[in-house]
Amino acid sequence: MDTTQTRSALRMVTLAAGGLAAGLFALAPTPAPAANDPILSQLVGNWIGRGTVRQSASSKPEQVYCRIANKLVDGGAGLEQKGRCAIATNSGAIKGTIQAKGGSYSGTLDTFSTKGPAKIAGTAASNTINFSADFVDRRTNKPTRATIKLVVADGKYRLVSNGANDAFVASDITFTPQ
């Protein structure tokens, strides 16, 4: 992955993570709509995310700030996220929907870094979900993949994303209720 791809992937991961983080949790081993999942139900509302982002493996961390609003959709079978994330040099809107089904999650996410919606998929174990985001980079027009780990605990959640084929931590953001 070249430097431009890596930077764009990291921006997408950072912005996508803010929106997706709230919807990507599963604790139930059997299929259940989000409304029946105690973690997803707790994520409805407004969240503030603060942390760091690195544009590349060699760059210094930058502060990131996110505001995310979540609501249940599709009769409680999914979670919709809308919001915005910003770093000193860039900001952008995010919008996504996650569908929960039997410990697996799938959905889409639109950001200013993607050409069309990113496809999101993941699985959960206990209070952690690991997922991948596949998308076409808006700048390079090339397919790109990012990995994201979410951990929920103590009424907040933490998102750690990796860039450039897991070569470095691209973002580390903690979300708290607003």
Output the pLDDT for position 139.
66
Between CA 146 and CA 8 the distance in angstroms is 11
| CATH code of residue 8 | 2.40.128.20
pLDDT digits (tens, 9 = 90+) for 3-50: 444 444 445 444 444 444 433 332 333 344 455 655 566 677 899 999
Query: At residue 85, does pLDDT exceed 80?
Result: yes
pLDDT digits (tens, 9 = 90+) for 100-119: 887 788 888 887 667 889 89
Give the structural domain span for 67: 3-177
Output the pLDDT for position 12.
47
Output the pLDDT for position 25.
32
* Tally of structural domains, the chain: 1
Query: At residue 87, does pLDDT exceed 70?
Result: yes
Whether the CB-CB separation of 142 and 134 falls below 8 Å is answered with: no
CA 110 → CA 19, 40, 74, 79, 176, distances in Å?
Answer: 10, 21, 19, 15, 23
Whether the CB-CB separation of 94 and 84 falls below 8 Å is answered with: yes
Output the pLDDT for position 94.
86
Percent above pLDDT 70 for the chain: 74
Task: Specify the higher pLDDT residue, 17 or 175.
Answer: 175
Between CA 86 and CA 61 the distance in angstroms is 13
Output the pLDDT for position 112.
65
Between CA 4 and CA 7 the distance in angstroms is 5
Residues contacting 106, CB < 8 A, separation 6+: 98, 99, 119, 120, 121, 122
Task: Specify the higher pLDDT residue, 86 or 30.
Answer: 86
Structure tokens at 48: 């503030």
